[in-house]
Amino acid sequence: MDRRGDDMAAVLEAMCAGSVEAFDRFYERYAPLVMQIALRMMEDRMEAEDLCHDVFLEVLRSGRKFDRSRGSIESWLAVLTRSRALDRRRRARRALQGSTHASGARIPEIETAAAPEDLVVLRFQRAAVREAFAALPSRQRRALANAFYSEKTQRELADEWNVPLGTVKSWIRGGLANLRKQMAVRGWIAGGEGGTPHDGE
């Protein structure tokens, strides 16, 4: 019996139910795996970071679909990350097709390119995330940005900013809670009451 896998499946369930602590634990456990795959697939750190963000946002929205009987969380995330990476590469290739069409350059068609309506939804979703993030208090924005995209631990961030570790954790958790509320207000996830973001201490 894989007790650790069962534990993390419970964490995933709690995260999808709105637990910020569960999200923190899930992200800390699986972000290195997702980022490693993203870097290998995209071969560009900025693209990999964007992909990592997209994957965890999708997990947050649809993690309830995970079926423990069909495999581990690691394999599920690996498949999801590779799938989204291929989507990005296909879109990039389609863009290249458009830019080279006038010159007569020929690039093989890709049968499984993303549908135009999916690209529109993705564009609006990213805009909503940017707006929600911008609405957070500055300390929460900084804490979340470093928690997601820097390679520093929370302890290292606390030392760098000369604040207690508990304060950094509070900023991150408060930021996640506020971000979830703002996304709920915009209709992208269920739950949350919206309103003015609170500034976690």
pLDDT value for 64: 84
Chain centre distance of CA 169: 18
Compute the distance between CA of residue 189 and CA of residue 16 in angstroms, rounded to an integer. Answer: 10
pLDDT value for 193: 44
pLDDT value for 74: 92
Q: Are 194 and 185 in contact (CB under 8 A)?
A: yes
- Mark whether 105 and 125 lie in a shared domain: no
Q: 10 Å Cβ neighbour count for 118?
A: 12
Q: In what helix (H) or strand (E) does residue 96 lie, and over which residues does it extend?
A: helix 73-100
Find all residues with CB under 8 Å of 61, minimum gap 6, and list them.
188, 189
Low-confidence ranges of the chain (pLDDT < 50): 1, 96, 99-114, 192-198, 201
Compute the distance between CA of residue 28 and CA of residue 22 in angstroms, rounded to an integer. Answer: 10
pLDDT value for 120: 55
67, 98, 114 - which closes a domain: 114
pLDDT value for 77: 93
Q: Which domain holds residue 65?
A: 1-114
pLDDT value for 68: 82
70, 91, 114 - which closes a domain: 114
Closest CA to 54 of 75, 35, 29: 35
104-140 pLDDT, tens digit each: 444 344 344 445 555 555 566 667 777 788 888 888 8
pLDDT value for 73: 93
pLDDT value for 150: 66
Q: Looking at residue 69, which CATH number applies to its domain?
A: 1.10.1740.10
DSSP 8-state code for residue 115: P
Pull the structure tokens for residue 122: 């993705």
114, 147, 165 - which closes a domain: 114
Q: Looking at residue 174, which CATH number applies to its domain?
A: 1.10.10.10
Find all residues with CB under 8 Å of 53, minimum gap 6, and list them.
129, 148
Pull the structure tokens for residue 199: 């500034």
Task: Find tokens 């820097």 and name the residue.
Answer: 150
pLDDT value for 189: 61
* Predicted structure pTM score: 0.52
